[in-house]
Structure 1
Amino acid sequence: MTDLVTLVADAAERWPARTAWRFPSEQNLTFAEVSELSAGYAQALRGKGVTAGDRVAVMLPNRAEFPLLWLALARLGAALVPVNMKYRSADTEHLLTDSGAVLLITEDTLDDLKPEPGFDQQPIDPAAIVNVQYTSGTTGVPKGCLLSHRYWLALAGSLVDEFPHLTDSDVMLTAQPFSYVDPQWNVVAALLSGAELVVLDGFHPSTFWADVRRHRVTYFYCLGAMPNLLLAMPQDSQDQDHAVRVVQCSAIPPSRHADLEERWGVPWFEAFGMTETGADIRVGADEHDELVGTGCLGRPAAHREIRVDDAGELLLRGPGMFDGYLGHPAPWRDGWFPTGDLARLDEQGRVYLVGRIKDMIRRSGENIAAVEVERVLMDHPGVRLAAVAGVPDEMRGEEVKAYIVGDVAENDLRDWCTERLARFKVPRYWEFRAELPMTSSERVAKNLLS
């Protein structure tokens, strides 16, 4: 298997009448329909002038057209630029300008794009870029990660060939927006394994497990604040009445790990990955029991090498990584990707994170570049100096705090940010000062802010 187009064709041949996707509003598609409709959208996009090498931005909620358009673009040799539905003017403008997208598809324009017959599939280059996936990366404003067919097949293949060994007996579930990388790898893994994929319209803690039970889900992945939010829900006599065999989760709260497993009667497995590198490190079934509550990330996947350098930074290497950042210098260090995370290895080669060296804030699973928020704040005429940092938060991991020097009211600044940034990037806490501590190079000394 070398590319997404062959993957779709193979799935349609092996499981034509089986349900491939279940979306909100009973938008269900078989594997054969996924193949047919993705080809139909490819023909429609070709009629709009989209050709190989083009980039097309898609800003849609969780509906079947999102992955269908992605697969259609892959058929054309073009690339998807996912746009978060929460984005406002400044966020969206950056993505569209930076990516050079030739077209933006939204709910308002989707009615003008209908599947058309007669698509003639041309040969596919496995090295072709199929996604420009924006992430805040290690530093700075969001950068476009160039993801190829090989990236996606390496990621999905590791989930089929290795733990959790997804098969056509599984029912997967994702509750993240399709602009995230997580639902996208769920799509590829489901096509590769023959699993059914259930897509929710979003993450709703009060109804999440009811959806899991209703669809007889056997596997799901979660991250960020999701575990704590689920635990905060009232206990239910049906908590352990489900078909889930595996939960994979990034950054499981060590102090709550055992509580999660005891409440729902299913093992939760730590997993680590990045948009840039795919599925890298995970805890397997054989070591799960001894590692509950330790915060251990586990061991690298078979296709991934790891190293901790002299400064303590976690480095990754191996096939199936991204092809760099659009318009930015190559990030590699002698073939290794620097994660920006500080880590240590135990005597058995298992990985533990100990901190971050990047100026990033991790709020409810969202990566927020402090400099991105600072630039919006500094654009306000009443702000003379601004600094943004993360502060610990029991529920969300971190919250965004802004330190301001200027003559402006908090409400005015909050409204200013809300109009220009996604809501999750808007500072929750505000502190106004006469001055901020500075370094000798005239930069804010953030280590002296608290």
Structure 2
Amino acid sequence: MSDTIPDLMRHAARTYGEREFLCFPGHSGSASPVSLTFAEADERSDRLAGALIGHGVRPGDRVAVMLDNEPGWPLSWLGVLKAGAVTVPVNVRYRAADLEHVLRDSGAVATVTTAGHAAQVPGVVHLRDALADGVPRPAPPARPQDVANFQYTSGTTGFPKACMLTHDYWLRSAQVVADQIGLRDDDVLMIAQAYSYMDPQWVTLLSLIGGVPLVVLPRFSASGFWASAREHGATLTYVLGTMPLLLHKQPPHPHDRDHRMRLVLCSGIQPDLHRTFEERWGAPWRELYGSTESGPDLLMPIDAVETVGTGAMGLAPPGKEVELDAETGEILVRGAPMMTGYWNHPEATAHAFRGGWYHTGDLGLRDDRGHIRHAGRIKDMVRRGGENISCAEVESVLVGHPAVMSAALVPIPDELWGELPKAFLQLRPGHAATRDTAMSVIEHAGRRLARFKIPAYVEFVEEFTLTPSARIEKRHLLHPGRDQRAAPAIQVDKEQR
């Protein structure tokens, strides 16, 4: 295995040369499709590295990358690393507060972006196109333990923290997945998440390891995902967050099983829909559990058909240990890969690694086969009187209503109960945001959940703000100073007192 990401890129260029490496299909209204070979990507990222060094970037400097899903993103990542610097991925959807926090906290010396994004970026800006004609320059070789990324976590509350991820972290993460899926010479990878999130980055390394193409979609589209898979002959993909449910809610298509997909990796498969997914699209769906802090922690083997629909997340790969601190307790992880800590947050780092284990914040329980099942987030809870309510459990029931596209449950303060659950709902097209709809959803939940878990209030939203990992960003739902019981909220639990 190569020691650093630049080493891996150079090895792939020597070994696979003129094979296709990156395919960016483009979309309506965007630039034409772009395809790059391994050799071309190596040469272009060398020139980007030379341009950055020529502009004063030194080893250890942080360089932000704020680009859409386009060839410039992975080329800039590789170029920054070849210059010996640290990449700071920035979500293009960030605005003043988010952007200022990431750039200030990371200490980025410059941002690589496009003219379209440059106006909102404070500090030194390098336009992507202006770096393309750089001349390769010598840079000190990176070491496996050198930090490659300040990868900001996409937490649902508060400002994100930067996980310091080394070259070794990234290469181990990719190799663990490559071994688990049995990467083949005829595979075609496809990804639809924003490159600023970590998944397209480790999938890029999978492509470099196997010498196989990576198709990068401009964004996730539930209506176009499987059409893209058919068009490009994709055999492997990874989806997470709300993606599986949004795909499932698309109308059945006569060509649903007409594709080359041999495996769908997923984090958070809805157990009662797992078999339905496999039967509809004719491919196995297997869990991959991990985090930005710890990389892949649990993986389900492709041939583990007996686990379909059980919610099991698999077993720890070589080099990792995963335990629970109670029968139904917090999931604890140690081993490699693992972040070196949170940048600028030594107290948070010490708290996360107390007792020598990384504390994930996820609850789990172990089944008879030794597999761990997810049992909710420790902090993603509502404490109603003496009862704890798992937001994930209630949300999974709410989205089972035919009118509901997506749902988010949050606690709101209450003088009597301490907290009450409030549901924010995004409706499917054709359904009206009325009190009748709200009551229909609550009646649906009432037939499936304990009385204390039923939301006390419902509010409709046109859309949710999502994290780069396609999870609902709940911190945008509860605006300070606003009465969460007032209109447009609908009180649906008249007996909540």
TM over 0.5: yes
Deviations 1:144-197 (A, max 9, x none): 000110001100111222x21113321000000011111011111110111210
Distance 1:37 1:58, change over 3 A: same
Indicate which of 292, 299, 304 corresponds to 2:308. Answer: 292
Deviation at 1:31, TM superposition (A): 0.4
Equivalence for 2:130 = 112
* Normalised TM-score (structure 1): 0.82
SS at match of 1:21: strand
Could you tell me whether the CA contact under 8 Å between 2:189 and 2:235 is conserved in 1? yes
Indicate which of 474, 477, 485 corresponds to 1:427. Answer: 477
SS at match of 1:252: coil
* 1:70-85 equivalence runs, <5 A: 70-85=77-92
Could you tell me whether the CA contact under 8 Å between 2:155 and 2:473 is conserved in 1? no
SS at match of 1:300: coil
Deviation at 1:121, TM superposition (A): 4.3
SS at match of 2:296: strand
Indicate which of 101, 105, 109 corresponds to 1:102. Answer: 109
Q: Tell me, yes or no, if structure 1 residue 247 matches structure 2 residue 264.
A: yes
Equivalence for 2:9 = 8
Distance in 2 between the 1:87 and 1:360 partners? 27
Could you tell me whether the CA contact under 8 Å between 1:217 and 1:244 is conserved in 2? yes
Equivalence for 1:378 = none
Deviations 1:79-110 (A, max 9, x none): 11111111111111111111111112221132
Equivalence for 1:190 = 207
Distance in 2 between the 1:279 and 1:302 partners? 11
Equivalence for 2:449 = none
Indicate which of 296, 319, 331 corresponds to 1:303. Answer: 319
Deviations 1:213-251 (A, max 9, x none): 010000000001111111111211111110011111010
* 1:88-99 equivalence runs, <5 A: 88-99=95-106
Distance 1:137 1:227, change over 3 A: closer
Q: Which one-letter code corresponds to 1:260 in the other structure?
A: F
Indicate which of 133, 147, 159 corresponds to 2:165. Answer: 147
Q: Which one-letter code corresponds to 1:145 in the other structure?
A: C
Deviations 1:19-57 (A, max 9, x none): 000012321100001111111000011111111111111
Segment of structure 1 superposing worse, 347-356 or 421-430:
421-430
Q: Tell me, yes or no, if structure 1 residue 257 matches structure 2 residue 257.
A: no
Q: Tell me, yes or no, if structure 1 residue 399 matches structure 2 residue 408.
A: yes
Distance 1:166 1:115, change over 3 A: farther
Count of aligned residue pairs for this structure pair: 396
SS at match of 2:315: strand
Aligned-pair RMSD on alpha carbons?
Answer: 2.8
Equivalence for 2:52 = 45
Indicate which of 251, 256, 261 corresponds to 1:234. Answer: 251
* Normalised TM-score (structure 2): 0.74
* 1:300-449 equivalence runs, <5 A: 300-310=316-326, 312-329=329-346, 330=349, 331-359=352-380, 392=395, 393-394=398-399, 398-399=407-408, 401=410, 403=412, 424=473, 426-427=476-477, 432-433=484-485
SS at match of 1:169: coil
Could you tell me whether the CA contact under 8 Å between 1:298 and 1:350 is conserved in 2? yes
SS at match of 1:42: helix
Could you tell me whether the CA contact under 8 Å between 2:44 and 2:132 is conserved in 1? no
SS at match of 2:193: coil
Distance in 1 between the 2:41 and 2:69 partners? 16
SS at match of 1:160: helix
Distance 1:238 1:359, change over 3 A: closer
Could you tell me whether the CA contact under 8 Å between 2:363 and 2:378 is conserved in 1? yes
Equivalence for 1:207 = 224
Distance 1:360 1:240, change over 3 A: same
SS at match of 1:70: helix
Deviation at 1:319, TM superposition (A): 1.5
Q: Which one-letter code corresponds to 2:227 in the other structure?
A: A
Deviation at 1:428, TM superposition (A): 8.5
Deviation at 1:341, TM superposition (A): 0.7
Distance in 1 between the 2:113 and 2:302 partners? 42
Deviation at 1:136, TM superposition (A): 4.5
Indicate which of 130, 144, 150 corresponds to 1:132. Answer: 150
Give % identity.
43
Q: Which one-letter code corresponds to 2:374 in the other structure?
A: L
Distance in 2 between the 1:78 and 1:343 partners? 38
Could you tell me whether the CA contact under 8 Å between 1:77 and 1:129 is conserved in 2? no
Q: Which one-letter code corresponds to 2:22 in the other structure?
A: W
Deviation at 1:16, TM superposition (A): 0.1
Could you tell me whether the CA contact under 8 Å between 1:139 and 1:358 is conserved in 2? no
Deviation at 1:77, TM superposition (A): 1.6
Segment of structure 1 superposing worse, 46-55 or 112-121:
112-121
Deviation at 1:258, TM superposition (A): 1.1
Q: Which one-letter code corresponds to 1:432 in the other structure?
A: Q
SS at match of 2:356: coil
Deviation at 1:59, TM superposition (A): 1.1
Segment of structure 1 superposing worse, 38-47 or 232-241:
232-241
Structure 2 segments unaligned to the other structure (5+ residues) = 27-31, 116-126, 383-390, 415-459, 487-495
Indicate which of 278, 299, 307 corresponds to 1:282. Answer: 299
Distance 1:360 1:170, change over 3 A: farther
